A = this chain, B = another copy of it.
């Protein structure tokens, strides 16, 4: 192409010659393969203190003046991370909604980083932009959402939900909110009390403030109460406020509850508000044959947020925002500064979201979708749901475990000692006890749960978005919780809460 050749190349300390790159890459791949091999035998987490981790890192070291050989550095980084990390790729990791990372996605991230396309603008990333567009469409197809929707990859659920929130704000504010701001607009947004904290971050960031959120009560299954929603909408409309957005949950973060989309869509039409579905965790369960009917109504939504780094098992980060009317997504984000010299014949992703420069998050998701196809995801997601139901059913066989909820792949329960004196003090103690149990369980490395709050009660929560979890892993959990519950109880319980009848 031109006269540049080896002799004219610049000598940079950061360069790694291709031969050395090959050797370092092979060594690192070998370390990772070995790590993956031993993962099931490791603790889920070493459960160490911050002080211990900082000591291992030598955290207070100043920036080095001189450099060090890359092979040593990569080896040290692998040592530090393999020895002192929590592994969401472990078969017994069931905390929060973080999935095991698909190995093909890990290699996809390597390739994306090596090619380093800037997927902010089409000319800077021709193939990567088209792969992103295809992946977005495939996700829409998986969900039963219109394939001609607008959409893009973002960092995760918070950002995917925020992008949709801003599209709704732009479309429904009733004035040019992007230019004039939200001043004087009295915009109001609606969601159940079970909604993830992204809604507070979005209301805050967007200038509406969290006071603009109308928290609607949820029923005992964690679904928004449509009557309460209507009442609030009426009150606000009569008071001269402007309802613009209803957030429906397709899998609440606490219990996996799915809001009744078929009932909510007509309410949104009636009040002229945008229907957004937070499906960050649960939307992909729509692929399962016996999915809740409400989930299969995703196509009614004006926008959907879904996280491929959750139930498509992509490595972090991969969130995805889908907006039914592609023009409404563009209208919410597009700016054309004078120093941009791009055509319009293809999608420039800086027009569709808050970022300008963007990495190539789509590749790992595209590879995983290609590797297993729709059939593979139906099988894996179904199996996660089935294992969660089995866990819930098994808990009933343990008298000291109180089963609380099960939906999608989330089961909640708590430990209740056999001889606990009932009453108000017992409830406070159960929270203290289950918190302690959870901390002990997490630090033990034997399995990893997180928690939920169910009707005011502190619960243990197992969320299975993990293609490595087997029935054996699930069956090991209840006896483990009972053992740790008894140990925590022995350490914590005051004499006053011991049933007199059970005292010898």
With known contacts A29-B22, A33-B22, A354–B158 Cβ distance under 8 A: yes
Contact yes or no, B68 A28, CB < 8 A: no
The 8 Å CB contact of A103, one of B15, B42, B62, is: B15
User: In the docked arrangement, what's the CA distance between A311 and B297, Å?
Assistant: 47
With known contacts A14-B368, A29-B22, A354-B159, A179–B211 Cβ distance under 8 A: yes
Instruction: Pick out which of these stretches binds chain B: A223-231, A243-251, A339-347.
Output: A339-347
Q: Is A503 an interface residue (CB 8 A)?
A: no
Contact yes or no, B166 A86, CB < 8 A: no
Contact with B along A52-74 (1 / 0, CB 8 A): 01101101011111111010011
User: In the docked arrangement, what's the CA distance between A347 and B95, Å?
Assistant: 19
Q: Is A96 an interface residue (CB 8 A)?
A: yes
Q: How far is the CB of A128 from chain B (nearest CB, A)?
A: 7
Contact yes or no, A451 B4, CB < 8 A: no
Q: Is A290 an interface residue (CB 8 A)?
A: no
With known contacts A74-B111, A80-B127, A177–B209 Cβ distance under 8 A: yes
Which residues of chain B are near A383, meaning CB under 8 Å? 10, 12
Contact with B along A190-229 (1 / 0, CB 8 A): 0000001110110111111111100000000000000000
Contact yes or no, B141 A107, CB < 8 A: no
Contact yes or no, B124 A14, CB < 8 A: no
Contact yes or no, B355 A155, CB < 8 A: yes
Q: Is A496 an interface residue (CB 8 A)?
A: no
**12 A–B contacts from the bound complex (CB under 8 Å):** A14-B102, A85-B125, A86-B124, A88-B117, A123-B442, A179-B211, A182-B182, A183-B186, A197-B356, A200-B335, A201-B354, A339-B453
User: In the docked arrangement, what's the CA distance between A468 and B73, Å?
Assistant: 22
Which residues of chain B are near A29, meaning CB under 8 Å? 21-22, 25-26, 29, 110
On chain A, which size bracket covers the interface? 35 or more
Contact yes or no, A183 B182, CB < 8 A: yes
Contact yes or no, A13 B115, CB < 8 A: no
The 8 Å CB contact of A107, one of B61, B74, B205, B307, is: B74
Output the nearest chain B residue to A163 by Cβ-Cβ distance: B205
Q: How far is the CB of A232 from chain B (nearest CB, A)?
A: 18
Q: Is A35 an interface residue (CB 8 A)?
A: yes
Contact with B along A119-158 (1 / 0, CB 8 A): 0001111111011011001100110000000000001111
Q: How far is the CB of A120 from chain B (nearest CB, A)?
A: 8
Instruction: Pick out which of these stretches binds chain B: A43-51, A263-271, A487-495.
Output: A43-51
Instruction: Pick out which of these stretches binds chain B: A322-330, A357-365, A397-405.
Output: A357-365
